[in-house]
Structure 1
């Protein structure tokens, strides 16, 4: 594969990486990205970073605010609603 073809493959793989991470690609396209990641160290490293970020964000979305903060926020929202009613 020439350098131009390799760069094009990297460009295409990186453009599809987010959809690949979220399983949003057609099976054919996902297989192409997977094959490229198996042979390209740079894109594989970028994919790994994407996996780590995705996992961190998913974990952060599962966290709940402390109960005291939730109560203060709800009280503030109720007070604002009552002022504008």
Structure 2
């Protein structure tokens, strides 16, 4: 295995985190992240952001807020037709 370098690690970070690359490239990026604090920190930020977005997508808005948003959308749509 060889260190792939910061440019490749950052370019392919999303694919690496989703396990969407071949085993060799995955190993090269993992090795780089183990030895590069800056890229490891970027991977941590990306992982945390992904988890927060996934959690937010599971939540639903309170019914009253949804009703207000839908009413506003209907008003805006009616005004533009």
TM-score bin, normalised by smaller chain:
0.7 to 0.9
> What does 1:1-85 align with in structure 2 at a 5 Å threshold?
9-73=5-69
* TM-score normalised by structure 2 residue count: 0.73
Deviations 1:19-61 (A, max 9, x none): 1122222222111110110111111111111111111111111
Task: Name the structure, 1 or 2, with higher relative contact order (CA <8 Å, separation 6+).
Answer: 2
Runs of 4+ in 1 over 3 A off after TM superposition: 71-81
Unaligned runs of 5+ in 1: 1-5
Structure of higher CA gyration radius: 1
Q: Between Structure 1 and Structure 2, which shows a larger proportion of helix residues?
A: 1
Unaligned runs of 5+ in 2: none
Quote the Cα distance in structure 1 between the aligned partners of 2:53 and 2:5: 28
How many residue pairs get aligned? The number is 77
